[in-house]
A and B are shown apart, each in its own frame.
Chain A
């Protein structure tokens, strides 16, 4: 399968948009080579500000620029963008609904070897909880390009998760991103596999395996986690027999939680959440970590089987 760089897609698209939108200003915190804002910096040095290793000040400065009419892209690693500067994001940016797009690289656990200090399994939860914040986790490089081209035109704050590792290319050239809309990538009536980011391709792989067992799984990419596509989720609940969510994030507060929140109120069904099980990451290669933390197509298949096995009963047994 062809791989696409997520952060590369961000950096290249941003540098290209710089031409069309003179109001774009980009901030980074000494990680521009990693987040790929360096591509913009090289082309538009006057509109790029390296804030040094000072993420709180970065977010505050972004707010001030946005309050003066700029479209600000603010980048650093996901854990620091969301965690270190959470309260600045909350009050300086989101409270004021300012036009700041936080594009946070090295989301999730595929940061790999740097270990638990640099991995981020909590960012979706703590960004999603902010009133008026919109959260997007693109599934491949093509989607990242489209997301950046879309959000530049929509005022207000966004949190967009980027990644160190490359993701398999899923989408075709004609793909258009629509904020707040999930996408059915494969039809199936037995259950739905709903993923975001890297886990979308894992869901597709899992669906292949399940098909061989005679289980027809629908695969949905839910790249916009907020605002969430309630209509599609209810449709999954009504027209398929259960849901597996898959995310490179804690099962607490992320995509799985968001899906469960909607469906427990609107259309209850079985939901099994594949994700990081309330754990910190450790050092390791990205593939080893996905295995270690239970984020593989195999884990999704197992979750699907669990639902298939028990959905005629009232409860899924506690393990």
Chain B
């Protein structure tokens, strides 16, 4: 359990991360705003609390792995990695620029701390399963976390992988769905209904938890519980708000793939208490 001081620290960090994300997206003049902001508390909970990892040794064999299956959320991951110490904060200014270590989508070849490349939706869980199988073969205690989008759950490969993780009893896999209810063309359940999503995963043999994806206490409690589940994989359905933290981005489908303008950035920073 976390005490109030720890929670306050994480909450203040979440604000910093949101500011970093907005600035880097504005600077890059392209990138995914809404789906980065919705993941902040989830990714922070992993890197600043749950996961065993070492920014000084990104390839440490006993580290926990993270797969950002919804790779377009890269800005959130990049800022968290930078704030963890994997690379210098100044790199954030090079997002999406030619020659940058920060590609538009996570790239294991050029970014320290990225365990595998993602960006083509639907592929992350399969790769996470492969890592989990290898960890089990090598008798390593590490866990593999994989963050998916709710729209991404429309991909068939995810369900092949969901079946396989349960079949091979991959209790070292923990899936998380950033359930913000929106995708590019509209609300997920209008484009292609995925509900009842928790029941589906549970039918596929996963232990399912539901949390408020912006509440550190709930996220971390579920991550802790997931770690105690044996012989089956766990899935956390995290209810989130796309664009979370900036009132005029929240729940707005049109802010999926556009960065904040200079004016929007200025307004957002005021909202986040940065002047």
* Contact of B248 with A by CB under 8 A: no
A62 contacts B130, CB within 8 Å?
yes
**Which residue of chain A has its CB nearest to the CB of B126?**
A60
Interface size on A, residues (CB 8 A): 29
Q: Report how far A309 CA is from B183 CA in the complex, Å.
A: 63
Q: Nearest CB to that of B108 among chain A residues?
A: A96
Q: Known: A61-B126, A67-B108, A67-B127. Contact between A54 and B120, CB under 8 A? A: no
Question: Would B157 and A56 count as touching, CB distance under 8 A?
Answer: yes
Give the shortest distance, in Å, between B67 (CB) and chain A (any CB): 8
Within 8 A of B (CB), among A65-82: 65-70
- Any chain B CB within 8 A of the CB of A47? yes
- Give which listed residue, B61, B109, B127, B138, contacts A61 with CB less than 8 A: B127
Q: Which residues of A contact B131 (CB under 8 A)?
A: 64-65, 67-68
Q: How far is the CB of A45 from chain B (nearest CB, A)?
A: 12
For B119, the chain A residues whose CB sits under 8 A away are 91
Q: Which of B124, B132, B156, B163 contacts A56 (CB 8 A)?
A: B156
CB <8 Å contact, B157 and A88: yes
How far, in angstroms, from A87 to B117 measured CA to CA in the complex?
13
Q: Which residues of B contact A96 (CB under 8 A)?
A: 108-109, 116-117
Report the minimum CB–CB distance from B60 to chain A (whole Å). 12
Question: In whole Å, how far is B204's beta carbon from the nearest beta carbon of chain A?
Answer: 13
**Using Cβ atoms and an 8 Å threshold, which residues of chain B touch A46?**
137
Q: Which of A25, A56, A66 contacts B126 (CB 8 A)?
A: A56
Q: How far is the CB of B175 from chain A (nearest CB, A)?
A: 14
Task: Evaluate contact between B160 and A64: CB separation under 8 angstroms.
Answer: no
- Which residue from chain A places its CB closest to the CB of B127 in the assembled complex? A64
B157 touches A68 (CB 8 A): no
- B164 touching A61, Cβ below 8 Å: yes
Q: Complex: how many Å from CA A59 to CA B122?
A: 12
Q: Is B161 an interface residue (CB 8 A)?
A: yes
Minimum CB–CB distance from B108 to chain A (whole Å) comes to 6
In the complex the two chains form, is B120's CB within 8 Å of A63's CB?
Answer: no
Answer whether residue A97 sits at the interface, using C-beta atoms and an 8 A cutoff: yes
Given contacts A61-B164, A95-B117, A96-B116, contact A68 B123 (CB under 8 A): no
- Please, which residues of chain B bring their CB within 8 A of the CB of A60? 123-127, 129-130, 157, 161
Interface centre among B137, B138, B156, B168 (most CB of A within 10 A): B137
Q: 0/1 per residue, A246-274, Cβ < 8 Å to B? A: 00000000000000000000000000000
Query: How many contacts A-B (CB < 8 Å)?
Result: 103
B152 to chain A, nearest CB (A): 13
Most chain B beta carbons < 10 A, residue from A58, A92, A96: A92
- Whether A61 pairs with B129 at a CB distance below 8 angstroms is yes
In the assembled complex, which residues on chain B have CB atoms less than 8 Å from the CB atom of A49? 133, 168
CB contacts under 8 Å to A, within B100-150, are 108-109, 115-117, 119-120, 122-135, 137-138
Partner of B117, one of A25, A58, A91: A91
Is the CB of A51 closer than 8 A to any CB of chain B?
A: yes
A25 / chain B contacts, CB cutoff of 8 Å: 133-134, 137
Residues on the B chain within 8 Å of A91, using CB = 117, 119-120, 123
Query: Are A67 and B137 closer than 8 Å at their CB atoms?
Result: no
Which of B117, B134, B160, B161 meets A70, CB within 8 Å?
Answer: B134
Quick check: is A277 within 8 A (CB to CB) of the other chain? no
Residues of B within 8 A of A239 (CB): none
Q: Are B117 and A59 in contact (CB under 8 A)?
A: no
Q: Is the CB of A63 within 8 A of B160?
A: no
Write out the residue numbers on chain B whose beta carbons fall within 8 Å of the beta carbon of A155: none
- Bound state CA distance, A96 and B168, in angstroms? 25
A57 within 8 A of B: yes
With A57-B164, A91-B120: A64-B133 Cβ-Cβ less than 8 Å: yes
Across the two chains, which residue of chain A brings its CB closest to B119? A91
Residues of B within 8 Å of A65, CB to CB, are 130-131, 133-134
Q: List 24 A-B contacts (CB under 8 A).
A: A25-B134, A25-B137, A46-B137, A51-B160, A51-B164, A52-B164, A56-B126, A57-B157, A60-B123, A60-B124, A63-B126, A64-B116, A64-B127, A64-B128, A65-B130, A66-B130, A67-B130, A67-B134, A68-B134, A70-B134, A91-B117, A91-B120, A92-B126, A96-B117
B residues near A, CB below 8 A? 61, 108-109, 115-117, 119-120, 122-135, 137-138, 156-157, 160-161, 163-164, 167-168
Q: 10 additional contacts, CB 8 Å, given A25-B134, A91-B123, A95-B117?
A: A57-B160, A61-B164, A63-B127, A64-B127, A64-B129, A64-B130, A65-B130, A68-B131, A88-B126, A92-B120
- The 6 lowest CB-CB distance pairs between A and B, nearest first, are A64-B130, A60-B126, A68-B134, A57-B160, A54-B160, A64-B127
